[in-house]
């Protein structure tokens, strides 16, 4: 009995002492600092900035000297504020004891810089900073919307508002996200934006609106698939996200049957389309519903499937799934199974930590803990979980770490009254949390150790952990206050920027109304002025009448000359076409005369193709160069078929002329090639050669037609009177066409005829130069 009374007295003394220490600790915690932060403030041009206000928590204050340096007492994790009236306020969180250099940007130069950037650059910058700096992201998007409000267009405007919605949803301001997604849909409605709107409605607690939007979206998806329309709007992965969000919304409204149905459709869709990265979370969603309805065995089978699928998707997926399954076992008091899974998770987290140290892989959720794996797209393939991010559950982020798993193991041991293992696990969790500055876990571990040691009668350790618990609570309280202040400030800044956007819209409406009013006033003023000036206009009209008549007479004369030139050009073309057709038909006649029906048919087919193209182009003054080359190639092929024993040919095209858009006169070169064949090569005793080369100079096309025939002088002697007339007509037409084209179309075509060799009887070379403007 005395021992009991003594223990009660001792406990009361301890409690009084602890309370006194707690009060004293609360008074001094805010004033305690662990370091002196040294830093420097510089401008965007790296020049020192003096007289800057440096503010820390609990009234700590400093200013920069002439060289921009400052010193301020601080703790790790504190946020200091760097402000001056002429630049944007900077909020800096202390991460280490090292000296820091903080760069500030002048407000005016920042605004000028944003105004000078294009819409595309601003939107790309917003994407880069989306998950890093909410304020910068908002500023980039606002600049994209305001730099050219009249010329931005509906599509770009929709993209900008959608990006704003992404920003607010990421920062858990669903109401603002809803506003901007609706603005985006108003400018351009897409299935993806409807899905994002539904997700933001769900995050904001507007479950019925979210269900209505998602039901319409999924129904539209089904109708598009049933009509064999491949353009379904949503990708398969987005469709899974839609069904999952719909299931979550029904779950929130206690419609378990509808929730289960949609989660099962999401799972089936993912399995059908081989979206394996989504399977663990989808199976877990279904298992959670079965567990909530008391169907424990069915839930356990889905959890098992989720774990099996997660093993194929990497460490993070496995850790997340096993942790959810362990929570399930805990809720059903199956502590042995829970402990086994959490121990496996600790092994996986240790493995991930080792991989992180080797490969510098980023953490999963909490940057302050070296043993926490962070869900990010940049981690190595073994830790890939990008798909899980697309299936958020109530927009809640869960942290997985070694110390937290150890804490839950300890709680499971405690629930089974295995106090020895519970104390050992709480100690491990406490030690790990202390190493990684995880105050929340450290607090829970210290609280449990305090109670367990008190139950076991170990007063010294109970007191020790009680003191640690109280100190940790104070530190956690201070940390939470800073986080709340930080989040409040960030939220307020985002709200301010949203207000700026709404102001932009109002300004745009006012501007449009002002423009309408100005236009109306201008029309009225113009009507009055027109009535007053009609006499003056009449006098001016009368004065200009003679000049106008003279001008029309001059223009009619000029048009008449042009029409005469066009008529002459058309006449020349009409003379050349029958000339060419006549010669081609002679070739067909030669094959028929030789009873070579197959060759005649083949020749006639090529001839028909050539004739079709010739007739199509007969009314045109210019055709594309590749088309002209094709026609000449076909003509050379036909002539070579007729005179195989007389000559070979080579058609050389400069690669720079392939696929060119340059225009040339049609059938200008064909008569020159025809003369080379008929009057130069045909009369040669041995087999001759014809080369047609197209070359490109700086701003001209040079066509060289060279044959090694009998030459112009010898050919002239062999001609009959009838042939001489034909040649003069053919070459005369070419020369006349060149002259008319040069005059009519203001172009420059030169035709030069020379002997190919040193003596007049060794071939002919014709050069055609067509100069074009750049």
User: Which CATH number covers residue 618?
Assistant: 3.30.565.10
Same domain for 660 and 610: yes
Q: Is the pLDDT of residue 354 over 80?
A: no
In the chain, the N- to C-terminal Cα span, in Å, equals 113
Q: Are 307 and 388 in contact (CB under 8 A)?
A: no
Structural domain ending residue among the three candidates 148, 164, 189: 189
Instruction: Please report whether residue 206 resides in a domain.
Output: no
Q: What confidence tier does 360 reach under pLDDT thresholds 50, 70, 90?
A: very low
| pLDDT (tens digit per residue) in 484-502 | 766 676 666 666 666 666 6
How far apart CA 675 and CA 687 sit, in angstroms, is: 17
Task: Choose the weakest-confidence range: 263-267, 403-407, 434-438.
Answer: 434-438
Indicate whether 756 and 624 sit together in one domain: yes
Range of the domain at 57: 34-108
pLDDT digits (tens, 9 = 90+) for 303-338: 999 999 988 888 888 999 999 999 999 999 999 998
In a domain? residue 365? no
Mark residue 576 as left, alpha or beta (left: phi above 0; alpha: psi -120 to 50; beta: remaining): alpha
Say which residues have a Cβ less than 8 Å from residue 673's Cβ, sequence separation at least 6.
632, 635, 636, 639, 690, 692, 705
Nearest residue to 756 via CA among 712, 692, 697: 712
CATH number at residue 148: 1.25.40.10
The verdict on residue 675 lying in a domain is yes
- Residue 15, in any domain of the structure: no
What are the tokens at 722? 């009838």
Mean pLDDT of 417-421: 90
pLDDT at 730: 63
pLDDT band at residue 71, thresholds of 50, 70 and 90?
very high
What pLDDT is attached to residue 225? 61
Q: What pLDDT, on the 0 to 100 scale, is given for residue 489?
A: 65
pLDDT digits (tens, 9 = 90+) for 163-177: 888 988 888 888 888
In this predicted structure, what is the pLDDT of residue 714?
82
pLDDT at 552 over 50: yes
Q: Number of folded domains in the chain?
A: 3
> What per-residue confidence (pLDDT) applies to 665?
87
Q: Is residue 104 very low, low, confident or very high in pLDDT (cuts 50, 70, 90)? A: confident
Same structural domain for residues 54 and 185? no
Q: Is residue 720 part of a domain?
A: yes
Structural domain contains residue 730: yes
Q: Specify the CATH number for the domain of residue 96.
A: 2.60.40.4130
Q: Are 380 and 355 in contact (CB under 8 A)?
A: yes
What does the pLDDT read at residue 389? 27
If asked whether residues 594 and 617 sit together in one domain, one would say yes
Q: Where are the beta strands (DSSP E) in 173-250?
A: none
Query: Quick one: which H or E segment has residue 35?
Result: strand 35-43
Please provide residue 104's backbone torsions phi and psi, each rounded to the nearest 5 degrees.
Answer: -120, 155
| Residues 6 or more apart in contact with residue 237 via CB below 8 angstroms | 273, 275, 278, 387, 390
User: In Å, what is the CA distance from 167 to each residue of 90, 129, 392, 642?
Assistant: 20, 10, 16, 76
pLDDT on residue 384? 32
Q: Do 612 and 710 sit in the same domain of this protein? A: yes
User: pLDDT grade, residue 548 (50/70/90)?
Assistant: confident
Indicate whether 696 and 743 sit together in one domain.
Answer: yes
Q: Tell me, what's the pLDDT at 694?
A: 93
Identify which has the larger pLDDT, 682 or 206. 206
Q: Look at residue 230 and tell me whether its pLDDT is greater than 50.
A: no
pLDDT at 30: 45
Please indicate, yes or no, whether residues 104 and 140 belong to a single structural domain of this protein. no
The domain boundary residue, chosen from 172, 189, 206:
189
Q: What is the mean pLDDT of the chain?
A: 78
Which residues on adjacent β-strands are paired with residue 752? 767
Q: Are residues 131 and 98 part of one domain?
A: no
Q: In the predicted model, what is the mean pLDDT of residues 266-270?
A: 92
Per the model's pLDDT, the better-predicted residue between 264 and 518 turns out to be 264
Q: Is the same domain home to 128 and 95?
A: no
Length of the chain (residues): 774
Q: Are residues 57 and 185 located together in one domain of the fold?
A: no
* Confidence bin at 393 (pLDDT 50/70/90): very low
Q: Write down which residue in 139, 160, 189 finishes a domain.
A: 189
Task: Convert 131-185 into a string of H (helix), E (strand) and C (coil).
Answer: CCCHHHHHHHHHHHHHCCCCCCHHHHHHHHHHHHHHHHHHCCCHHHHHHHHHHHH
Instruction: Examine the pLDDT at 110 and tell me if it is beyond 70.
Output: no
Q: Return the closest-CA partner of residue 385 out of 456, 312, 434, 298.
A: 312
Quick one: tokens of 272?
Answer: 């059908």
- Residue 228: phi, psi to the nearest 5? 60, 30
Q: Examine the domain organization and report whether 156 and 57 are in the same domain.
A: no
Give 73's strand partners: 36
The pLDDT of residue 486: 67
Lowest mean pLDDT of 561-570, 606-615, 710-719, name the range: 561-570
Predicted pLDDT at 208? 93
Residue 215, pLDDT > 60, answer yes
Judge whether residue 185 has pLDDT over 70.
Answer: yes
Same domain, 68 and 100: yes
Q: Tell me which of 54 and 88 has the higher pLDDT.
A: 54
pLDDT at residue 382 in the model: 33
Tell me the mean pLDDT in the region 134-161: 81
Q: Would residue 342 count as lying in a domain?
A: no
CA dist., res. 339 & res. 271, Å (int):
31
- How would residue 758 be classed by pLDDT, with cut points 50, 70 and 90? low
CA–CA gap between residue 429 and residue 207 (Å, rounded): 39
pLDDT surpassing 70 at residue 515: no
Q: 41-55, 209-223, 525-539: lowest mean pLDDT where?
A: 525-539
- Give this prediction's pTM: 0.54
The pLDDT of residue 651 is 92
Of 415 and 713, the structure prediction assigns the larger pLDDT to 415
Average pLDDT of span 742-766: 80
How does pLDDT run across 441-498, given as a tens digit for each residue?
988 889 999 888 898 888 888 898 899 888 888 888 877 777 776 667 666 666 666 6
Alpha carbons 153 and 441: distance in angstroms, whole number: 52
Interatomic CA distance for residues 152 and 139, integer angstroms = 17
Q: What percentage of the chain reaches a pLDDT higher than 70?
A: 76
Q: Read off the pLDDT of residues 500-513 as tens digits, 9 standing for 90 and up.
A: 666 656 555 555 55
Map residue 723 onto helix, strand or coil.
helix
The answer to the question of residue 213 being in a domain is no
């Amino acid at each position: 009995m005395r021992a009991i009374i003594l223990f009660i007295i001792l406990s009361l003394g301890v409690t009084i002492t602890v309370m006194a220490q707690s009060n004293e600790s609360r008074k001094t915690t805010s004033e305690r600092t662990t370091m002196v932060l040294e830093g420097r403030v510089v401008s965007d041009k790296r020049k020192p900035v003096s007289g800057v206000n440096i503010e820390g928590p609990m009234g700590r204050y400093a200013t920069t000297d002439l060289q921009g340096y400052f010193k301020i007492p601080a703790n790790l994790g504190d946020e200091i504020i760097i402000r001056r009236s002429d630049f944007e306020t900077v909020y800096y969180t202390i991460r280490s004891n090292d000296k820091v250099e903080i760069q500030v940007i002048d407000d005016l130069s920042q605004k000028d810089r944003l105004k000078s950037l294009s819409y595309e650059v601003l939107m790309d910058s917003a994407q880069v900073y989306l998950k890093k700096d909410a304020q910068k992201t908002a500023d980039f998007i606002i600049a994209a919307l305001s730099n050219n409000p009249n010329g931005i267009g509906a599509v770009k405007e929709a993209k900008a508002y959608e990006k704003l919605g992404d920003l607010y949803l990421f920062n858990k301001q669903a109401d603002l996200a809803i506003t901007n997604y609706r603005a985006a849909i108003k400018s351009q409605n897409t299935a993806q934006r409807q899905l994002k709107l539904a997700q933001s409605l769900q995050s904001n607690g507007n479950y019925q609106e979210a269900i209505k939007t998602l039901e319409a979206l999924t129904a539209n998806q089904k109708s598009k698939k049933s009509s064999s329309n491949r353009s379904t709007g949503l990708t398969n992965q987005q469709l899974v996200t839609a069904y999952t969000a719909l299931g979550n919304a029904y779950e929130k409204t206690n419609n378990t049957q509808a929730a289960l149905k949609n989660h099962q459709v999401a799972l089936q869709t993912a399995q059908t389309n081989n979206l394996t990265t989504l399977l663990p979370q989808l199976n877990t969603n279904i298992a959670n519903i079965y567990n909530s309805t008391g169907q424990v065995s069915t839930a356990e089978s889905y959890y098992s499937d989720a774990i099996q699928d997660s093993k194929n998707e990497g460490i993070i997926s496995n850790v997340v799934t096993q942790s959810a399954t362990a929570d399930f076992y805990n809720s059903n008091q199956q502590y042995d199974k829970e402990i086994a899974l959490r121990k496996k998770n600790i092994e996986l987290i240790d493995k991930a930590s080792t991989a992180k140290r080797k490969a510098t892989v980023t953490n999963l959720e909490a940057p302050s803990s070296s043993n926490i794996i962070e869900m990010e797209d940049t981690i190595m393939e073994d830790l890939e979980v990008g798909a899980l991010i697309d299936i958020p559950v109530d927009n809640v982020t869960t942290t997985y770490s070694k110390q937290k798993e150890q804490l839950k193991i300890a709680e499971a041991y405690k629930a089974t009254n295995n106090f020895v293992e519970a104390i050992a696990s709480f100690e491990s969790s406490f030690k790990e949390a202390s190493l990684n500055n995880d105050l929340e876990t450290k607090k829970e571990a210290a609280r449990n150790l305090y109670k367990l040691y008190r139950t076991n009668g170990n007063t010294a350790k109970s007191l020790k952990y009680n003191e640690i618990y109280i100190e940790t609570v104070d530190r956690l309280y201070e940390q939470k206050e800073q986080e709340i202040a930080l989040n409040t400030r960030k939220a307020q800044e985002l709200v301010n920027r949203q207000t700026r956007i709404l102001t932009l819209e109002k300004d745009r409406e006012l501007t449009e109304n002002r423009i309408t009013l100005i236009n109306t006033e201008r029309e009225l003023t113009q009507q009055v002025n027109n009535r007053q000036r009609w006499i003056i206009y009449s006098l001016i009209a009368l004065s200009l009448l003679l000049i106008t008549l003279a001008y029309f007479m001059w223009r009619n004369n000029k048009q008449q000359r042009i029409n005469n030139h066009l008529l002459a050009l058309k006449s020349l073309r009409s003379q050349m076409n029958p000339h060419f057709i006549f010669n081609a038909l002679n070739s067909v006649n030669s094959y028929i005369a030789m009873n070579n029906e197959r060759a005649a048919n083949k020749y006639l087919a090529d001839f028909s193709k050539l004739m079709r193209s010739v007739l199509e182009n007969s009314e045109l003054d210019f055709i594309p160069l590749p088309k002209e080359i094709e026609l000449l190639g076909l003509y050379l092929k036909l002539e070579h078929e007729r005179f195989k024993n007389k000559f070979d040919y080579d058609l050389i095209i400069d690669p720079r002329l392939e696929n060119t858009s340059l225009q040339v006169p049609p059938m200008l070169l064909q008569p020159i090639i025809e003369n080379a064949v008929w009057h130069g090569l045909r009369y040669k005793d041995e087999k001759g050669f014809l080369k047609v080369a197209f070359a490109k100079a700086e701003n001209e096309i040079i066509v060289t037609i060279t044959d090694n025939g009998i030459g112009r002088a010898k050919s002239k002697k062999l001609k009959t009177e009838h042939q001489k007339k034909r040649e003069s007509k053919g070459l005369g037409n070419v020369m006349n066409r060149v002259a008319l084209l040069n005059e009519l179309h203001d172009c420059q075509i030169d035709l030069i005829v020379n002997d190919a060799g040193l003596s007049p009887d060794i071939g002919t070379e014709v050069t055609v130069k067509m100069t074009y403007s750049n």
